[in-house]
A and B are shown apart, each in its own frame.
Chain A
Amino acid sequence: METYSEHFETLNWDQIKSDIYSKTERDVRKVLDKPKRSLADFQALISPAAAPFLEEMAQMSRALTQKRFGKTLRMYIPMYLSNECQNICTYCGFSMDNKIPRKTLSDEEIIKEAEIVKAMGYDHILLVTGEANKTVGVDYFVNAIRLLRPYFSQISIEVQPMEQDEYEILNKEGVYAVLVYQETYKEDDYKLHHPKGKKSNFQYRLKTPDRLGKAGIRKIGLGVLYGLEDWRVDTYMCAEHLAYLEKTYWKTHYAISFPRLRPCAGGIDLKSNMTDRELVQLICAYRLLNEELELSMSTRESESFRNNVIPLGITSISADSKTDPGGYANPQVNLEQFEIDDKRSTETYIDVIKKQGYEPVFKDWDKALMSFFN
Chain B
Amino acid sequence: MQDPFKLGDKIFQSRLFTGTGKFSSNIEMEQALLASESELITVALKRVEATMQDDLLKHLNHQHIHLLPNTSGVRTAKEAIFAAELAREAFETNWIKLEIHPEPKYLMPDPIETLKATEELAKKGFIVLPYIHADPVLCKHLEDAGTAAVMPLGAPIGSNKGLKTIDFLKIIIEQAKVPVIIDAGLGSPSHAAEAMEIGASAVLVNTAIAINRNPIQMAIAFKMAVQAGRMAFLAGINQQLDKAEASSPLTAFLD
Contacts and interface: CB of A to CB of B under 8 A. Distances in A.
A246 interface: yes
Contacts of A67: 158, 160, 207, 211
A368 B24 contact: no
B103 interface: yes
Contacts of B78: 371
Given A251-B103, A292-B104, A368-B86, A70 B49 contact: no
B244 to A, nearest CB: 37
A69 to B, nearest CB: 7
B22 interface: yes
Nearest to B87: A368
Interface stretch (B40-48, B119-127, B166-174, B230-238): B40-48
B210 A70 contact: yes
Chain B interface size band reads 20 to 34
A99 interface: no
A361 B47 contact: yes
Interface in B58-106: 71, 73-75, 78-79, 81-83, 86, 102-106
B26 interface: yes
Most-contacted residue by chain A among B25, B26, B48, B78 (CB, 10 A): B25
A369 B22 contact: no
Chain A interface size band reads 20 to 34
A366 B82 contact: no
Contacts of A68: 158
Contact of A252 (B49, B79, B104): B104
Decide if the interface of chain B is mainly helix, strand, loop or mixed: loop
A43 B55 CA distance: 43
A227 B141 CA distance: 56
Contact of A71 (B23, B74, B82, B83): B23
B21 interface: yes
A359 B48 CA distance: 14
B46 A364 contact: yes
A205 interface: no
Interface string B114-148: 00000000000000000000000000000000000
Contacts of A371: 78-79, 81-83
A190 B211 CA distance: 43
Most-contacted residue by chain B among A72, A253, A369 (CB, 10 A): A369
B48 A363 contact: yes
A143 B46 CA distance: 25
B102 A251 contact: yes
A319 B5 CA distance: 47
A72 B158 CA distance: 15
Interface of B: 21-26, 45-49, 71, 73-75, 78-79, 81-83, 86, 102-106, 158, 160, 207, 210-211
Given A246-B105, A252-B104, A369-B82, 13 more contacts: A66-B22, A70-B21, A70-B23, A70-B210, A71-B210, A250-B102, A292-B104, A358-B24, A365-B46, A369-B45, A369-B71, A369-B79, A370-B79
